[in-house]
């Protein structure tokens, strides 16, 4: 009589889909998944989550990640903005990302940049991220607006706080009126 193999659990399948297993454990997992209907179904659910997370685009981009997204073929509409500017911006129908390029920042001596997005009408904080990447060479922060952001209030104020090596702290705002 053959021994019954135990079913795989969610955590083990996450490790498999994340590539965190040894090649031997990965091969054993694959063999089990192909032969076990219950584990195959669970593996498909785990894969749906992990593969979606793998393709997510972060809100604040580095210049390198922006180049990678373009190389992957994503359609990116560029929206350069200057400090204090207020602009209505239409998210292009065929674009994957509307890149709000927050320009005009003095980043030569920056040690840290923090980002906050607020609803202008209510002041509610929609997003707050500390220590975001920035493009020192071009004096900008790159914000990747995506189609699913259409559920957010259309009147947003982007706040960029730059902290420098001398203890200086500068707040710069950009008002982006999104239209989808």
How do residues 127-171 score in pLDDT, each as one tens digit?
A: 999 999 999 999 999 999 999 899 999 999 999 999 998 889 999
User: Topology of 60-179 in CATH?
Assistant: Immunoglobulin-like (2.60.40)
Strands annotated E in 41-132: 60-61, 76-81, 86-90, 97-102, 110-119, 125-129
pTM (2 d.p.): 0.75
- Residue carrying the six token digits 């674009």: 95
Q: How confident is the model at residue 49 (pLDDT cuts 50, 70, 90)?
A: confident
How do residues 59-114 score in pLDDT, each as one tens digit?
A: 999 999 999 999 999 999 999 999 999 999 999 999 999 999 999 999 999 999 99
Q: Where are the domains of the chain?
A: 10-55, 60-179
Q: What is the pLDDT of residue 47?
A: 87
């Amino acid at each position: 009589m053959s021994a019954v193999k135990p079913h795989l659990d969610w955590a083990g399948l996450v490790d498999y889909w994340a590539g965190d297993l040894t090649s031997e454990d990965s091969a054993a997992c694959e063999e089990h998944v192909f032969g076990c209907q219950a584990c195959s179904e669970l593996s498909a659910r785990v894969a749906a989550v992990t593969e979606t997370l793998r393709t997510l685009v972060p809100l604040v981009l580095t210049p390198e990640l922006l180049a990678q997204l373009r190389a992957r073929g994503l359609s990116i509409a560029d929206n350069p903005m200057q400090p204090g500017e207020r602009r209505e911006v239409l998210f292009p129908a065929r674009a994957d990302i509307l890149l709000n390029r927050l320009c005009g920042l003095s980043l030569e001596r920056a040690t840290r940049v923090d980002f906050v997005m607020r609803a202008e009408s209510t002041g509610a904080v929609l997003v707050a991220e500390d220590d975001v990447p920035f493009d020192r060479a071009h004096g900008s922060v790159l914000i990747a607006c995506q189609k699913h952001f259409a559920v957010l209030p259309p009147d947003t104020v982007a706040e960029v706080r730059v902290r420098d090596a001398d203890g200086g702290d500068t707040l710069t705002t950009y008002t982006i009126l999104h239209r989808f």
